[in-house]
Amino acid sequence: MEVRLLATVGTRPEIIKMAPILEVLYRKKTFDVVLVHTGQHYDWNMSGIFFKEFNLPEPDMHLGVGSGSQSRQTAAVMVGIEDVLEKYRPDLVISVGDTNSVVGTAMASVKEEVPFVHVEAGLRSYDFSMPEEINRRIADHIASFNMAPTERAKVNLLEEGVSPSKVFLTGNTVVDAVNRMLPLANRSRVMEELDLTEEDPILLVTVHRRENVEKEYRLGGIVKAIKELDEFVVVWPLHPRTEAALKGFNLLDDLLSTKHVILTEPLSYLDFLKLLSSSQIVATDSGGVQEEAATLRVPCVILRNNTERPEVIDLGLGKIAGTNPSTIIASVRDFFYREEHQLSKKDYTNPFGDGNAAKRIVKILEGVDLINPYDSPRFDEGSPYYYSFVVSGRMQDYTVAKLMDEFGVEVISIYDNSGMPYSFNLSTPLVKGHKVRIRGEKRMIKKLKRLILS
């Protein structure tokens, strides 16, 4: 019996990151794939053109959700997806990212008891002023299966109590997309069209986050910094929301009259990839661009006060600048004048993946049990208890699987001797001195205590 999979996209980043998964799905034909576009991005340059560039078929349905407040847009997605679920009766639903489309899809799927798969799960900025932070936390905790792109994302999920059986480390499909599309992007004529050469000191800028475009002092700070960075050719593809904000705050004319600044319409993915790979530095508030920059080894100045991709900071390829003009200027110039040579020689493994994330995700989906994913767990004592212990010498022959099987408990987190949590699987051995956090029935925890204390 063929398994029907419903995939949803709604924005440019979702299409880019879903495309490699769809490519594998269509090639392998294990699933009957239904593709739905929610219409959260309804401008062709923000969405539709990417279907052509990735050679994807037209969506089977287009919900036409459009713009609106956070709540109204999410509600519209939920209502639309509910209708889709009733029409197609899928066995599985998959979405990627942290948009209103994703959380709306997740909630509608769960309420209809259809297993939901969240790709790019476990990212955390710990900033609840960001709608994206709220969306991804909800999606992660109600998903049947979470595809974590990095070790750090996986640990985040485990630390929050998400069952390890629901968490898979896959890498991020943005790396798959970059690797696949870069040869095509190198044929782009965008550099010639903008009268640029590879020798030009290009500073690429992207801004679209609500917290930046809705507050004049934040957007004004970015503009002030860009105007002062006149040793660069600044290229800024304008998101429609950002262009409207620049006009509303009377900042657009100022930028248009600044000689070293080039403002463009939203770019296609191939044009953007070519421009990013040709840039000395990118200044952005986008999470996806941070990942693309790390993949292409382009230093990244982050126009936010935090990031859910801290791996770019760990690599030395990212700096948190916020929107303070002096901090932005200092960060850009620090990369350009002090660190560019060292970064170009730096050898590192991309923490966002090796370009095979989509293959891993599809393989996982082919092996998951779709029978009764929302069956209620049975707890004789009402609910599970949590318990932490230090691994003793007599437990060193235990693996995670052996501990769980013998005592009927679930391992939630493991911490090393320094107290840092780390990723694990069923075959991970328990190491003397490491701390293990579990949950289970009180009587089983008492049994485990007797072993530990004996």
Residues designated as active site: 208
- SS3 state of residue 203: strand
N residues, the chain: 454
10 Å CB burial of residue 177 (0-12, 13-18, 19+) is buried
Q: Measured on CA atoms in the order 369, 372, 373, 376, is the torsion positive or negative? A: negative
Beta strands in 17-144 (DSSP E): 31-37, 61-62, 92-96, 116-119
Take residue 378 and report the two structure tokens written for it.
């049975």
Identify the DSSP state of 56. P
Q: Is the separation of the CB atoms in 121 and 153 below 8 Å?
A: yes
Phi, psi angles (nearest 5°) of residue 35: -105, 125
Two structure tokens written together for 132: 């994206």
DSSP reduced 3-state for 351: coil
Q: What angle is formed at CA 72 by the lines to CA 69 and CA 76, rounded to 5 degrees?
A: 135
Beta strands per DSSP E along 200-333:
202-206, 233-237, 261-264, 281-284, 300-302, 318-320
